[in-house]
Amino acid sequence: MTQPAPLIDQFSRRITYLRLSVTDRCDLRCAYCMPERMTFLPRKEVLSLEELHDMALGFIARGITKIRLTGGEPLVRRDMMELVRALGRKLGDGLEELTMTTNATRLDEFANGLADAGIRRINVSLDTLDRAKFENLARRDSLPQVLEGLAAAKAAGLKVKLNTVALKGINEEEIPDLVAWAHGQGFDMTLIEVMPLGEVEEDRFDHYLPLIPVREQMEQRWTLTPSDHRTGGPARYVDIAETGGRLGFITPLTNNFCDGCNRIRVTATGQLYACLGGNEQVDLREAMRSADPETALSDALDVAMKIKPERHHFVIDRPGGAPALARHMSMTGG
């Protein structure tokens, strides 16, 4: 039998990484991510567990070797662990890595199950260690659960990377302490610039914090050495001598790193977005529900390779600017 062709886009980028959003729902309401009264995708349009699983197998057949389960909050989906276990069985059989991005509110319950299913590394979003600030930002008083979740992940042997959105006037002053804390816990950390995705109550311009001065400030305190570490993603890393840890910077606004992009994203309703920052889209749910889903999915992936754009065009350059896209990060899968 001939091997199915790998996924290569029109800019000769080999696509090996799928970020699969399993739900756009969430138990937090981070102010930069979604409004308090968020309109979620209609439940009946969300793919079933079997559809998500079969779709993932179709991706693996086309050379996807890494899958990150994300959302919304993946661990609020009721049948989530079933999917994790089913995909875990593909590890070593086409799939090289299965990972998850989570807010950690439910990790205490699920960390062991994730590790047992073959997950080795997870990303956890944490923007502050101050309980009042957390409640203000996430609109829920959940920091204690998050910290318990992180401890459970550590105890389960999961390697943790913290993702922190840098926010002017919110966690700006705290960032170095957060980095020191994360590294002290044995966690890597990545700082992210806020992106103009979807309407929220606030003006993102008010809290947009470019990472260049943040990095310069840290250089006053610590020795930062650029690292060769790469994940095929937009982060660029440094090693910090004093903390002994690694720190990443994701700077979609101040510096574009789309050249080496290796990823595509699928929403919980089966819409493939070829780029986080674009509207180029292919309907995989229709493919999955056709008479010959395997062929239809593979054909749809070929279309995705033709429409994946060269780069995104995010800007946050003035107060009151409209989001670059109507779609929230929680829908596309962060």
Q: Provide the token pair at 293.
A: 């889903």
**Binding residues for ligand SF4, per CB under 6 A?**
26, 28-30, 33-34, 71-73, 103, 125, 330
The conformation of residue 226, written as its DSSP 8-state character, comes to: E
SS3 264: strand
Distance of closest approach, residue 175 Cβ to ligand SAM, in angstroms: 14
Regarding 26 and contact with ligand SAM (CB under 6 A), the answer is: yes
Residue 16 or 332: the one with the smaller Cβ distance to ligand SF4 is 332
Regarding 330 and contact with ligand SAM (CB under 6 A), the answer is: yes
Considering only CA atoms, which of 33, 7, 26, 2 is closest in space to residue 18?
7
Q: How many residues does the chain have?
A: 334
Regarding 125 and contact with ligand SAM (CB under 6 A), the answer is: yes
Residue numbers 65-84 binding ligand SAM by CB under 6 A: 70-73
Residue 71 or 234: the one with the smaller Cβ distance to ligand SF4 is 71
Considering only CA atoms, which of 179, 180, 165, 100 is closest in space to residue 134?
165
Residue 16 or 103: the one with the smaller Cβ distance to ligand SF4 is 103
Q: Which does 29 bind (CB under 5 to 8 A by kind): ligand SAM, ligand SF4, none?
A: ligand SF4
* Contact (CB, 8 A) for 19 and 68: yes
Q: Provide the token pair at 169.
A: 């006037």
Residue 211 or 238: the one with the smaller Cβ distance to ligand SF4 is 211
Strand partners, 162: 124, 189
264: exposed, middle or buried (Cβ count in 10 Å: 0-12, 13-18, 19+): buried
Considering only CA atoms, which of 115, 69, 111, 61 is closest in space to residue 90?
61
Q: Residue 2, CB half-sphere, CA atoms under 13 Å: how many?
A: 3
Residue 275 or 301: the one with the smaller Cβ distance to ligand SAM is 275
Q: Which does 188 bind (CB under 5 to 8 A by kind): ligand SF4, ligand SAM, none?
A: none
Q: Which does 194 bind (CB under 5 to 8 A by kind): ligand SF4, ligand SAM, none?
A: ligand SAM
Residue 70 or 142: the one with the smaller Cβ distance to ligand SAM is 70
Residues that bind ligand SAM (CB under 6 A): 26, 32-33, 70-73, 101-103, 125, 163, 165, 192, 194-195, 197, 329-330, 334
